[in-house]
Amino acid sequence: MKILDFLAPSSVTTDLVAADKPEILEQLARKAAPVTGIAAEQILSELLKREELGSTGMGGGVAIPHARFHDLKKPVGMLVRLKKPIDFEAVDGKPVDAVFLLLLPDQPAGEQLSALACTARKLRDPSVIAAVRRAPDSVEIFRTLTAD
């Protein structure tokens, strides 16, 4: 599986402003609702439940909040680059400025793991995340994330 399988050009946003983790999760849930057909409140609730298990801030200024949904037929991704980094309780304690929302179908498990793994692998690459940070617009970020 590749990021191109679940990330659309229109699902990349730059210079989003959020004060904290709950606010960015709420904004992402509102953006994802019309794309998925799932209520924003339900998306937010599942994301918050997942964060209670442990932060999805993977370090290096990146977070990949994710949740599973019975009504979802295929993975849906969204990336936001924040105008100012926020505390996301990341594993390295550093603030986050790139947030990749990943909404997954609850079946099959292999597809979920593949989507999450390819996203984490891509965003863990120092050259990729540096390119995301310096990209002038969402089009260039999309190209960076979907390049092989």
Residue 112's φ and ψ, nearest 5 degrees, are -60, -50
Number of residues that this document lists for the chain: 148
Which sign, positive or negative, has the C-alpha torsion 18, 64, 33, 31? positive
Residue 13's φ and ψ, nearest 5 degrees, are -130, 140
The span from the CA of 13 to the CA of 135, in Å, is 11
Query: Known catalytic residues?
Result: 66
